Structures are given as structure tokens and as C-alpha cells.
Amino acid sequence: MDFNLPEELQLLKETVRKFVDRELIPIERECRPEGEDMPEQFIKPLQEKAKAIGLWLLDVPQEYGGAGLDLMTRCVIMEEVARTVAIPFRYAPIFGPEVRPVLFHCNEEQKQRFLFPVIRGEKRICFAQTEPDAGSDPAGMKTRAVRDGDHYVINGTKRFITGAKTADYAQVIAVTDPQKGARGGVSCFVVDMKAPGVTLERLWPTMMGDTPGQIFFDNVRVPAADMIGGEGQGFSIAQKWIEEGRIRGHGARPVGIASRALDMMIEYSKVRTTFGQPLANRQAIQFMIADSAMELHACRLMVYECAWRHDRGEDIRQLSYMTKIQCAEMAGRVVDRSIQVHGGLGLMRELPLEWWYRQVRSIRITEGTPEVLRWRLAQHIIKNHKG
């Protein structure tokens, strides 16, 4: 059993770290996106530099012009990129347009209309699953899609949809068979945001700085040809992508954030003097550093194992729950400790700590709360326990 990253991933990790240290961290005071976009004067040069080192369209298959990286590799990249606050929190536009992986399930005709325009940066698409009464419990969604000839008629509301205000299309997850529910009764549709009956009802400004939207669908007629996958496949398609997100976005990203927060904590403890001694000599501070290092180490191993097993084709649902819970809560503690060690300076926007403090708080809510995931995990453990 080898706990080291393969040599090629170690080299990639070093390359991305140098890119972050040289190109992104130096511009943090000028560029700290509160929303979903970066200023053009920053993003274009950074995209060219990212392309030059082969970091472009990371999860897009090579046949479509992307890098086609596996999840393990993308987690290594995300861990390093998360060490900076110079790019939006939700995704990394420096690596190209965001292509929601649900689009990879398009048929050939749909790829021409939806996938390729998104890859080329001509169109934007958002993912609409969460509802007012169906967040951590997506199986409880109420948005309905009823067949009517060669169309489906969609009615319902989707809330907290990232990117809704700039999207040309929405990937809408809707119930097509209430009797089957999540087991074959939920489908996925691509819906034109300008279609009759589609209303962006409101935006929800968050403490993280982004503004997800609320979309209302009122008798929206969607061609049956715009369904992604077969009828009833929408839930499984969506959950597969969300599962990957738990590992990469809610696992590797918190690890990267905590890594730099710990570095900052250690460096500051060495130079800040109180009562004649540096903070690094104080046992209370030493314990904060030790606890952070231990928790970070454990979470990094969980992320790597989870991604590795995913790439081997194993069922990692339960392990992804563990990974999201541990990493999200760990990053919150480490960033909080780093702020405490920095004292008043830690509260200032001069440092990236306050930005992370707001962002990591959201991770404990999005894509499954720890309370719900613990409950589902416990159900699985108890059911499969052999005494």
C-alpha cells in the first residue's frame, strides 16, 4: 500500500502550486471576486497562462477538446487552487467555461445545441434542482413535468440556483412519475431561460457575495427532444455529478483552504510577540497548530482515498458523505483558529481569512447538510452491520 501520490500527480501538484503562488496570490488585494465572475483584465491573461501549462477544460473529455482528467487529478488541482481567494469560490473560470457534466449525457443532436456552445463559451447553463422545500432532500421535489404530445409541461419553483441570472439555459430536474419518485420518476430537461413561462423571480444575495436565483416555471412547454437521458434517469444523472462535487468542491477545496490558513497561522505565530515572547512559544497556540495539522492530514487522506476509489469505479456514496462532513467542518475550525491567532488583524479584509470564513460556512449547507448526511450514513451503517 502506497500513500504517496504517483510521481506525475506530484509534479502536477507542484506545477499548480507554483502557478497559484506566482500568478494568483499576488493579485489577491486587487481581485477578490465576491460573485461568480472575475474582472476581464484579470481573467483573460490568467486563462492564457493556464492553457500554456495544460490546465484547460479539466473535466471535459478529450474528444471535445478538454483535458479529460479523472477525479483524483482534479482534486489535486482543486486543493492547490483553493489556496487563493483571487478566483470565484464556486468554480475556477481561469480553466475555461464551466461545463456542467450533466451535459455529457446529451445525445449527438443535443451536443450540437447545448454542449458545444457551452464549451466554446458562447452559452451559459445553470443546474436547477434545489427547491423551497427540497434542498438536502432532493427526492422530495415538487416541480412536475407532464407529457403533452411531443412536449413536456413544467410547473414549479427552483431556489438558490447558482448562475441563474446569467444563464441562457437551465438544466431542470423535475418529477415525471410521482409514483416512482427518485427511483425512476425524475427526469432532466434543458430549458431555455427565455422560454414563455420562465421567470427569474428574484436573486438571493448571500453573505458569501454571490447571488443565486429563484426560477419560476409556469406551464413551460419544453420539447421532449430536450430531455437529457431517458425518462426517469434525471435523478441518477444529477446525483452522480453532485457526488463528485462533494469530493472535489466540498472535500479537496476545504483541504486547500485549511492548508494555507494553517501556513498563515504558523508564520504569524513566529513573528507576533506578546509579553516578550512570540506566540509560537505559547502552548495554547501550539495546540491550535497541532490540532489543525492533524485534522488537515486526516481529511487530505480521506479526499484522496475517496477520489481514488471513485476512479476505480467503486460505489463511494457513503465515503463521500464522510468526506464532505469531515472536510467542511475541519476547514471551518482551522480558518477560525487562524483568525484567532491573528487577533484583530484576522478580521481585516487585508487578509484572505475573513473571505474563507464566510465561504467555508456555506459548504456545511450546500449539497447536503452534515445533519442529513450523518443520518443517511448511520442508516447505511446500521442496516449493513453484521454482529
Catalytic sites, residue numbers: 367
By the 8 A CB rule, do 77 and 58 touch? yes
Residue 183 grid coordinates: 427511483
Core vs surface per residue 344-383: b (16+ CB within 10 A) or e: eebeeeebbbbbbbebbbbbbebbbbbeebeeebeeeeee
Return d(Cα 282, Cα 364) in angstroms, integer.
31
- Residues 322-343 as b/e (b if ≥16 CB within 10 A, e otherwise) read bbbbbbbbbbbbbbbbbbebbe
Give the 3-state secondary structure of residue 275: coil
**Whole-angstrom distance, CA of residue 191 vs CA of residue 222:** 7
Amino acid 71 reads L
As a whole number of angstroms, the distance between CA 2 and CA 4 comes to 6
DSSP structural state of residue 139: G
Secondary structure (DSSP) of 181-220: TTTT-EEEEEEETTSTTEEEEEE---TTS---EEEEEEEE
- Measured in degrees and rounded to the nearest 5, phi and psi for residue 30 equal -90, -30
For 37-96, the DSSP string reads ---HHHHHHHHHHHHHTT-SSTTS-GGGTS----HHHHHHHHHHHTT-SSS-SS--GGGS
Dihedral sign computed on CA atoms, order 321, 326, 329, 331: negative
159: three-class secondary structure by DSSP: strand
Q: What's at 228, amino acid-wise?
A: I
